[in-house]
Structure 1
Amino acid sequence: MLKPSIDSLMTKINSKYTLVTVSAYRARRLRENPELFQKSEKSTSVNYVGMALEEIDSEKLTYEVRDKDETTS
């Protein structure tokens, strides 16, 4: 079984699309600067996507939804 599980992640972010987008964005940031990873005692991932998913699962990484008016100028 993969850790963290999709069921566990879906309790943190209720959309699979958003989950993929947030984790991919965080993985890119971690690749650029690996010391940003917030390691916990149960971290097992060695790749950046896994690290991002662990941060989401442990609620060390959150996101906010911006209004459409904020993103278009």
Structure 2
Amino acid sequence: MLEPSIDDLQEKIKSKYTLATIAAKRARELQHTNNVLVENSKSNKYVGQALEEIYAGKLFVKEDSK
């Protein structure tokens, strides 16, 4: 089971595509640095850790101001 849930994550980032893209990019960064931004991560996998960072508000999408 995915923790945090997709519904909880979509409260932070509305688009599933954007959510997946950010998580994948961050997971690649974590492979090289292993510098997780959340304490006591529940996941041992990079994508899971990236999703936990998004849920914790450490990663976000900067909205364009028009």
TM-score band by shorter chain is 0.7 to 0.9
* Gapped regions of structure 2 (runs ≥ 5): none
1:9-32: per-residue Cα shift (whole Å, max 9, x none)? 000000000000000000000101
Runs of 4 or more above 4 Å deviation: none
Q: TM-score, normalised by structure 1?
A: 0.78
Q: How many residues end up aligned between the 2 structures?
A: 65
Q: Name the CA shift for 1:21/1:65 in 2 (closer, same or farther; >3 Å).
A: farther
> What is the alpha-carbon root mean square deviation over aligned residues?
1.6
Please report how far the alpha carbon of residue 6 of structure 1 lies from its aligned counterpart in structure 2 after TM superposition: 0.4
Q: Rg larger in 1 or in 2?
A: 1
* Gapped regions of structure 1 (runs ≥ 5): 68-73
